[in-house]
Chain A
């Protein structure tokens, strides 16, 4: 089978809409275009029915007790803002402390930073070299001021999957709320809000083959009933939690995407894992000085984050431009700082600059994997021939002993 270039291996950034999802969405743009809040006619009822059906499907994949626990939003960034700020505001007189980790997505970190300016105190838990949070650290960080713990299910850069079940036991026992940014792991790894004692979960459709611009916040309604202060004021939609006319076609698509995951997710994950291992082994058997970033064991099936020592990540991305990937290299960011996630793992700046994230997904094929592996091996060899560091390394020079002229 001929492969189409460029090959997409950036499934953590987003995913294409599954054709089955699109098909279910289409009527809701045209003939079934009603406003789900219109109570007075059939157009509205049809839309509302579709929204409620999607709510059920999403609730089911989350393991929620009721579809009433789903609040639709514009995406996970909004869900997270609503969860953290909403809880902080509602429970303000009970405490002012929030616990999160250094590995979180910016939507969590920057929300916490804003609360810090408002007088909240935030603990940013460190992670191990493997990129994992120690549940014991969560336990130790909880004080009588702690309102909320926010820890992601799976990391978007290194794919590490956190021990949420163990963390949920602790937060439940201590009477502290638990929010998780479940974006990357939802539908792909074991996740169940009930079993894991998760009280709030942020999810988004576009990471699981649904459309962009629609997400949801799971808000537990029972044991405990979680209360929030809405962050967007208006018509009081979503039980007053999030005003604004619902994006019905996108919500329909989100529901369908979850439904597909519910039936196919397990088999799909194991297929993707096989492909990911094929890619990893092909690369590491042909190149030395390649390092895996993040835990091997507790990892998203589609994530492969590798550092190619002595080759700079952005230079490598340019050399392999027939494949769409991303890099933790500073050169790809406006800030010229290497990835804070890799730094948090204690990966040295040199190796952080040399990292590439491969993200495999539903439509990745074996042919693509083989093509990418060959391309990467060839180009890394070529760039190393061009790298003064590789030459010094082979001459036995310890790069740490060199007096570099930093700029």
Chain B
């Protein structure tokens, strides 16, 4: 299948590839997907005191669309508050990257990764506040 230009661009020059310290109390880590399904995404956020996402990193095992979806997701959430980031929907990613129907699950995975990273961050905060 032919890829959209935006998918190719992100896959060739992925933004924010890398790892944040998962033990840092200000870092939330989301790990979604499964190797057996052919896609695994890890997305991490570092949140400032003001609730704004200062940094975001990802690593993805998956097709070009999965890599592009996670790259785009990190780009979008940086500088947003966690509430704003949580509002990102997979259809936004589908539209931005022109993903075909068979690749929609790659965008779903990216949305799940954002939500899962935020949930992890919140859990850490709650535990700290106990």
List residues of chain A with CB within 8 A of the CB of B66: 312, 315
Interface string of B2-45 (1 = CB under 8 A from A): 01000010011010010100000000000111111111111000
Within 8 A of A (CB), among B92-111: 102, 105, 108-109
* Given A385-B17, A386-B14, A407-B105, A311-B61 contact (CB < 8 Å): yes
Contact of B112 among A311, A387, A407 (CB under 8 A): A407
A391 engages B59 (CB within 8 Å): yes
B61 engages A389 (CB within 8 Å): yes
Contact of A318 among B19, B63, B105 (CB under 8 A): B63
B40 engages A389 (CB within 8 Å): yes
Within 8 A of A (CB), among B52-69: 59-64, 66-67
A314 engages B35 (CB within 8 Å): no
Q: How far is the CA of A334 from the CA of B41 in the complex (A)?
A: 21
Q: Closest Cβ of chain A: how far from B8's Cβ, in Å? A: 7
* Given A318-B3, A318-B64, A391-B19, A348-B109 contact (CB < 8 Å): no
List residues of chain B with CB within 8 A of the CB of A315: 11, 61-64, 66-67
Contact of A387 among B12, B32, B38, B61 (CB under 8 A): B61
List residues of chain A with CB within 8 A of the CB of B61: 310-312, 315, 387-390
Contact of B11 among A319, A334, A349, A389 (CB under 8 A): A319
Q: Closest Cβ of chain A: how far from B34's Cβ, in Å? A: 4
Tally of contact residues, A, Cβ under 8 A = 31
Q: Is A67 an interface residue (CB 8 A)?
A: no
What is the interface of chain A mostly: helix, strand, loop, or mixed?
helix
A386 engages B34 (CB within 8 Å): no
B32 engages A388 (CB within 8 Å): no
Q: Is A405 an interface residue (CB 8 A)?
A: yes
Q: How far is the CA of A50 from the CA of B74 in the complex (A)?
A: 65
Q: Closest Cβ of chain A: how far from B69's Cβ, in Å? A: 12
List residues of chain A with CB within 8 A of the CB of B8: 318
Q: Closest Cβ of chain B: how far from A6's Cβ, in Å? A: 14
List residues of chain A with CB within 8 A of the CB of B42: 388
Q: How far is the CA of A389 from the CA of B17 in the complex (A)?
A: 14
List residues of chain A with CB within 8 A of the CB of B35: 349-350, 353, 389, 399, 404
A406 engages B36 (CB within 8 Å): yes
A405 engages B33 (CB within 8 Å): yes
List residues of chain B with CB within 8 A of the CB of A399: 35
Q: Closest Cβ of chain A: how far from B110's Cβ, in Å? A: 12
Q: How far is the CA of A318 from the CA of B3 in the complex (A)?
A: 9
A349 engages B64 (CB within 8 Å): no
Contact of B37 among A385, A387, A389, A407 (CB under 8 A): A407
List residues of chain B with CB within 8 A of the CB of A407: 32-34, 37, 105, 108-109, 112
List residues of chain B with CB within 8 A of the CB of A338: 38
Q: How far is the CA of A387 from the CA of B60 in the complex (A)?
A: 5
List residues of chain B with CB within 8 A of the CB of A313: 38
Within 8 A of B (CB), among A372-406: 385-391, 399, 404-406
Interface string of A326-360 (1 = CB under 8 A from B): 00011110101010000000001110010000000
A334 engages B102 (CB within 8 Å): yes
List residues of chain B with CB within 8 A of the CB of A349: 35-38
* Given A314-B64, A319-B11, A388-B38 contact (CB < 8 Å): no
Q: Closest Cβ of chain A: how far from B72's Cβ, in Å? A: 14
List residues of chain B with CB within 8 A of the CB of A389: 35, 40, 61
Q: How far is the CA of A310 from the CA of B59 in the complex (A)?
A: 12
B36 engages A404 (CB within 8 Å): yes
**Known A315-B62, A348-B36, A388-B61; further 20 A-B contacts with Cβ < 8 A:** A311-B61, A315-B11, A315-B61, A315-B66, A318-B3, A318-B64, A319-B12, A319-B64, A330-B38, A336-B105, A386-B17, A386-B60, A387-B61, A404-B35, A406-B34, A406-B36, A406-B37, A407-B34, A407-B37, A407-B108
- The contact sample of 12 A-B pairs, CB cut-off 8 A, is A314-B63, A315-B62, A319-B64, A332-B1, A349-B35, A349-B38, A386-B17, A388-B59, A388-B60, A389-B40, A404-B33, A407-B108
Closest CB pairs A-B (n = 6): A404-B34, A318-B64, A353-B38, A349-B36, A314-B63, A388-B42
